[in-house]
Amino acid sequence: MKKLIVVVMFILSVGCAMGQHTADLGVQVGAATYWGNIHDVNTLKSITPVVGVLGRWNFNKRLAIRGQLLTGNLGADGTYKGALIGQPVAHATSFPADINNAYNFKRNFQTVEALLEFNFRNYKMGNMKKEAFTPFLSLGLGGFYSRAPGTGSFILDPTPSLPVTIPANYPPYMDNGKKTNEFDVLSLTIPVGAGVKFNITKRLGGMAEIIIRKTFSDNIDNLNDPSRFLATSGTSYAAAKTGLNNTDWYATLAVSLIYQLWDEKGNCALFDKLRRR
């Protein structure tokens, strides 16, 4: 996070030296939620925290481009019916299938995004009268990364462990040598958002925004192409499809506090303060 802030400050300082348009720097906090392959999701338990930083370059009073980094968690508690689902047990090598088909996952993530913002009204940071607020839309492209959690529910192999017990125990299904909850996720995302911007003081503003993101991964919930796990007879599952079988989405609702670094006249508030010292 500290490295990202340094990079954003450097990029914006280059723009400051050029004295063009206006530029802002901000922090944001909010909540995220997921939807994908899991059924009967407990909505309250699927809301997780996110934090981030952003830099914004304002071309004019209607258009801006924003870069941001978010980090947080995604998770859900629900069911996935028809599959053999195992739950973690310390030091166990075989597991009974969950009779309630309960399924849960939790993983942390980082996402980097570039978004184009369109303001419905003329908006200018520092203006406390007619141009002090506006609703807006955002659209962009991002990258999503999450390390393998290694926790939560996982898929069991359909062949019972020996000796057969009642109820039967099953070993974890191993996909390329890994359990289904042991895979990293790296994916492009398409974020689409809407929100409102408003001024608080001459240099300080706020923003509230909801963004829905389409991912190009089907494994955020550790269920990559899960329909192959519904046929529990036989000795093995089919390999995951390599096409666009992705069904995982996530959304964030965030509130941002934004500081205007410099205005269109080339006045840099941050560097002016440093010079006075």
* Tens of pLDDT, residues 19-71: 358 899 999 999 999 989 999 998 888 899 999 999 999 999 999 999 999 99
CB-CB contact of 98 with 39 (8 Å): no
Helix (H) or strand (E) holding 202: none
CB-CB contact of 193 with 212 (8 Å): yes
Helix (H) or strand (E) holding 273: helix 269-276
71-109: per-residue pLDDT in tens? 999 999 999 988 899 999 888 888 999 999 999 999 999
Better-predicted residue by pLDDT, 273 or 170? 170
Angle at 191 between CA 185 and CA 194, to 5 degrees: 145
DSSP label of 235: S
Give the integer Cα–Cα distance in Å for 68 and 142: 9
CB-CB contact of 79 with 43 (8 Å): no
Single-letter residue type at 21? H
CB-CB contact of 248 with 213 (8 Å): no
